[in-house]
Structure 1
Amino acid sequence: MKKNQFSYILSPENYIPLIEIACGDKEGKPFYIQGPFEDEAMTKMIVNRLEKNEEMGNFHFLMAADNFMDDDDWDDEDDEDWDDEDRI
C-alpha cells in the first residue's frame, strides 16, 4: 500500500521535537524594540496593542531617538582640530 504525502507529515515516526525559544525579557514580559523601518505611526499602533492586551507595566518597549545624528551638537567644525589638542 502506497502512503500519501499527509501520512508522512502526520506520522509519529517522523516526530520532530519542538525547540523552546525564549521570548521577551528576563521575566518573560513582552519587549518591543522599534525597528529601522517602523515609523512613528506603526510604533504607536504596536504600543497601543500591547497596552490593550497587556496590563500597563507588564511589557517593555524601546523607541529610536529622532534625528540622533542630525543634532546641532554634533558639529564638524571641532573635528578638524581634535588631534592637535593633545600635542605639546
Structure 2
Amino acid sequence: MEMERKTKEMEEKLCRRCKVIYRDSSNNASSCRFHPSFFVCRRHDDQKRYYELGPEDPPYAAKFYDCCGAEDPNAPGCVTSPHISYDD
C-alpha cells in the first residue's frame, strides 16, 4: 500500500492548464500559473488603449488575454493554483 502511494507520487503528469509536466510530490498551491480566459482579438472594454497592430490586422483589432488584459500571447499566467492533470 505504501509502495503504491509512493509510486503514484513519482508518476509524471501533464497539467491541463499550463501544459507543464509535474509530479504530485512537488505540486503545491502556486505550482501552476495560467490564464483562466482566452487570448482574444477585439477592443478592450475601455477602448482607450494603444495597440501594436500587425500588417495583416484590421484597424479595429486588439489582441489580449480577456482575463487580465496582457497583450503578449506568451505572457505568464495571471492566476496561480495547484496543477490539475487530465486524469483528475
TM-score, structure 1 normalization: 0.22
Q: Quick check: which one's helix share is greater?
A: 1
Q: Quick check: which one's strand share is greater?
A: 2
Which structure would you say has the larger Rg? 1
